[in-house]
Amino acid sequence: MTVNIHHVSIFVADMDRAIHLFRDILGFEMSWHIPEAGGKQLSALLGIEDMKAELAYLKSGSDGISIELARLIRPVVTPQGIRFGSIGTMGVSIAVPDVDSLYDRLNEEGWIPLTRCLSIRSPDGGNLRVFCIRLENCLTLEFMEQIMPAGKNNCR
């Protein structure tokens, strides 16, 4: 059997900000946006009783990877004090063509990187430049640029 990842679902507190990040900054294409979805089937599927949510589905134009954003309308949830690195938290790594420009833009728009941009060597020996931001308490987005040995070797 061959399997592929169809999409990644991310529950967010601020849908407008998340859409702005994925669509306007990262260049994902909006496939659809439903301001209010719910019902018995969706509640049963996700195991969230009497749920209602705002949903947005965005697709990467370059590789077809899709992100589904969900903001719960009901039940009302409050952010938990779960730290990234705890069981069940996750990270999503996104390849970008110019990590320095993205770092600067995210910083200007209030997405505070966890560190400055770092130059690292990947396990397969490639040179990478990376930095991370927190999208939500339990989700970190890593942005990476693969660099050639003769290219830039330090992030700002």
pTM of the model: 0.86
Residue 118: per-residue pLDDT = 95
Among residues 91, 86, 50, 56, the alpha carbon closest in space to that of 71 is found at 56
Helix-then-strand count for the chain, H and E:
3, 8
Residue 149: per-residue pLDDT = 59
pLDDT digits (tens, 9 = 90+) for 49-93: 999 999 999 999 777 789 999 999 998 877 777 778 788 888 999
Residue 46: per-residue pLDDT = 87
- Ordered by where they begin, the domains of the chain are 7-74 (3.10.180.10), 90-147 (3.10.180.10)
Q: What are the tokens at 120?
A: 């690292």
Among residues 28, 92, 95, 86, the alpha carbon closest in space to that of 57 is found at 28
Q: Which parts of the chain sit beneath pLDDT 50?
A: 150-154, 156
